[in-house]
Structure 1
Amino acid sequence: MKVLITGAAGFVGFHTAVRLLEAGHEVVGADNFNDYYDVRLKEDRAAQLLDYDRFELARMHLEDLTAVQDLFARHTFDRVIHLAAQAGVRYSLKNPHAYIASNVAGFTNILEACRYQKTPHLIYASSSSVYGANAKMPFAEADPVNHPVSLYAATKKANELFAHTYSHLYGLPTTGLRFFTVYGPWGRPDMAYFSFTKKIMAGEKIQVFNHGQMRRDFTYIDDIVEGIVRLMDHVPQGDPSFDRLNPDPATSYAPYRVYNIGNNQPVELMHFIRTLESALGKKADIELLPMQDGDVVETFADISALQQAVGFKPYTTIEEGLSRFVAWYTKYYADQPAGV
């Protein structure tokens, strides 16, 4: 198949592209290489992808409608995997317009392009952040998600609403994936596990919020990619038994579906740090701080729907996953011991 992956120089996009290229697919990768985090890391990911003769790189901003239209005029895609987004919860407090441009306007342009090309299946990244202030655990797709606690979360919920509208109006099959704290090699430097590693190796203090009383459903990158790949041919169909008097937010009479994709095993943040210390062979200097605005105490994915749909089952333990990350990190930054 010919597959468009937006955000191909990003963390999840890079790993997904490698997996599909290794499987023999043709991949077009779109990315704007913005400077939200180290652009060199994005360039190094892209350089690896360009080693494949079935990969084409499109440097572009998805909020540029003309650029998106031109891309779809040059290619007919069997699948579109939309992973590009302005990421990060705390950055959305400082630069909200970046989230509207990328996550709302950019996604709308992708929807429009898929609509006119009649793309057989659009898979897009949502986020566990949509659960916001919800306290019921584990988070299930049928739960209402009406109380976001960050603009980032609000834009991800908006993506789900926009997708349903296009599924309803134009019959565009859409699948949204609520990612839960993805980690692993080639990861994002703005994520806690990455910055913790950098600071522990440099002998610097790490800041741990809510005094360490937090839990996250850390999900290893290979498990995430496995879920994406399994869903590519699991094209949603409208549910004829959909109950409009008691509507399930994750399903529809339209060809629309939303799934959690996580590890289903939340980890105490302090256990996570101790595991990272063990992988690094070095103790962390910890500064305990109050909760941050826009953050949540716990995430926990109910993945039963995805298991039932495509047999998804995460296999990577936190010990194994962090060990692989540290091995990659130390090799990648071999010439820069502090990870700078």
Structure 2
Amino acid sequence: MRFLVTGTAGFIGFHLARRLLRAGHEVVGVDGLTDYYDVALKQARVAHLAALPGFSSHAFMLEEPGAFMALMAEARPEVVVHLAAQAGVRYSLEHPEAYVSSNMVGTFQVLEGCRAHPVCHLLFASTSSAYGGNKAVPFRETDRAVSPLTIYAASKLAGEAMAHSYAHLWKIPTTAFRFFTVYGPWGRPDMALFLFTRKILAGEPIEVYDHGRAVRDFTYIDDLVESITRLIDAPPPLPGAAPVSAADTLSPVAPYRMVNIGGGRPVSVAAMIDALEQALGRTAQRHLRDLPPGDVERTEASPDLLRDLVGYVPATPLDTGIPAFVAWYRAHYGTGA
């Protein structure tokens, strides 16, 4: 099968593309290789993929008029997985325009490409930040999500809405998924686990927000990719089909649904740091700080719909996933034992 995956130089896009290539599929990759974080890390991911048969790479920004449309006309993929985005809650407070351009205009270009060159399934990455100010946990896909706390969350909600409208108008089978704090080897340097690892190994203090009380539903990257690959084979049906369960978000007017990808086993940030200290064999210098604007105290996914759809729920514990990340980090950056 031929896939077009946006964001293949990114953390999640890299892992998904590698999984698909190793399964014998063809992957057409797109990435803008922005300098939001270390470009060398992005280039290393692309180089790793380039060594696998069936991969082709294209470097351009999705919001560039006509670029994605031309690639769709050339590649004619059967499935598009749209993972490219401007990420980062705190960065959005300083650079909101990047989120409008990448997450809204870029997503529009992807939708236009899928309209002009129909696909069997479009899958679109959203975020748990979409739940915003919701207080009830676990976060269920059937909960109203109308109180985003940052332009990042708002831009992803806008992407969900645009994708639904295109699914309705052009009958594009579309699955949107909301990710929950994804971590693992080849991770993003702006994420807490990566930042903490670098600083602890350098003997520098780490800033721990909400005094370590914040709770996150950490999702190991292999579990996330397993969930996505299973969802690829479960495109939403046209209106009129019966929902798979009471948890289903299948639209009554479009072949569209939204799915959480998270295990529903939240852990405090303090406990995550404890596990990281154990894996590193070092003790962190913790500087406790208040919760910054835009952050939430707790995230917790309801995994019911994911389980109902594909019979799978992320389950890798931190005491397995964090040592795997640390082993990769030491090998990649040559930090030794």
> CA contact under 8 A between 1:130 and 1:153: conserved in structure 2?
yes
Shift of 1:232: 0.8
Shift of 1:75: 1.0
- In 2, Cα distance between the equivalents of 1:325 and 1:249? 33
- In 2, Cα distance between the equivalents of 1:33 and 1:210? 32
Q: Rate the CA distance shift 1:249–1:150 in 2: closer, same or farther, 3 A.
A: farther
Shift of 1:240: 2.2
Judge which range, 149-158 or 233-242, deviates more.
233-242
**Alignment correspondent of 1:128:** 128
- In 1, Cα distance between the equivalents of 2:9 and 2:81? 13
Shift of 1:261: 0.2
SS at 1:252 equivalent: coil
Instruction: Indicate yes or no: 2:176 matched with 1:176.
Output: yes
Deviation digits for residues 84-111 of structure 1, max 9, x if unmatched? 0000001111111111110000000000
Identity across matched positions, percent: 50
- In 2, Cα distance between the equivalents of 1:300 and 1:238? 30
**Alignment correspondent of 1:42:** 42
- In 2, Cα distance between the equivalents of 1:224 and 1:309? 15
> CA contact under 8 A between 1:208 and 1:288: conserved in structure 2?
yes
- In 1, Cα distance between the equivalents of 2:249 and 2:197? 36
- In 2, Cα distance between the equivalents of 1:241 and 1:107? 27
**Alignment correspondent of 1:307:** 307
Shift of 1:163: 0.8
**Alignment correspondent of 1:161:** 161
**Alignment correspondent of 2:298:** 298
> CA contact under 8 A between 2:138 and 2:302: conserved in structure 1?
yes
- In 1, Cα distance between the equivalents of 2:97 and 2:249? 28
Instruction: Indicate yes or no: 2:177 matched with 1:216.
Output: no
* AA in 2 matched with 1:252: S
Within 5 Å, give how 1:8-157 maps onto structure 2.
8-157=8-157
SS at 1:65 equivalent: coil
Shift of 1:238: 3.3
Deviation digits for residues 232-274 of structure 1, max 9, x if unmatched? 111101342789xxxx993212100000001210001111100
**Alignment correspondent of 2:206:** 206
**Alignment correspondent of 1:7:** 7
* AA in 2 matched with 1:170: W
* AA in 2 matched with 1:42: K
> CA contact under 8 A between 2:187 and 2:194: conserved in structure 1?
yes
SS at 2:325 equivalent: helix
Shift of 1:315: 2.9
> CA contact under 8 A between 1:242 and 1:252: conserved in structure 2?
no
Deviation digits for residues 310-331 of structure 1, max 9, x if unmatched? 1122231110000000000011
The total of aligned residue pairs comes to 333
Within 5 Å, give how 1:228-243 maps onto structure 2.
228-240=228-240
Q: Structure 2 stretches of 5 or more lacking a match?
A: none
- In 2, Cα distance between the equivalents of 1:307 and 1:317? 18
Within 5 Å, give how 1:178-193 maps onto structure 2.
178-193=178-193
What TM-score, normalized to structure 1?
A: 0.95
**Alignment correspondent of 1:252:** 251
Where in structure 1 do 4 or more consecutive aligned residues deviate above 2 Å? 238-243, 248-251
> CA contact under 8 A between 1:277 and 1:284: conserved in structure 2?
yes
Deviation digits for residues 12-49 of structure 1, max 9, x if unmatched? 00000000000000000000000000000000000000
> CA contact under 8 A between 2:262 and 2:313: conserved in structure 1?
no
What TM-score, normalized to structure 2?
A: 0.96
* AA in 1 matched with 2:73: A
- In 2, Cα distance between the equivalents of 1:55 and 1:241? 36
> CA contact under 8 A between 1:144 and 1:249: conserved in structure 2?
no
Instruction: Indicate yes or no: 2:324 matched with 1:324.
Output: yes
Deviation digits for residues 109-158 of structure 1, max 9, x if unmatched? 00010011111100010000000000100000000000000100001111
- In 2, Cα distance between the equivalents of 1:4 and 1:180? 23
> CA contact under 8 A between 2:21 and 2:53: conserved in structure 1?
no
Q: Structure 1 stretches of 5 or more lacking a match?
A: none
SS at 2:66 equivalent: helix
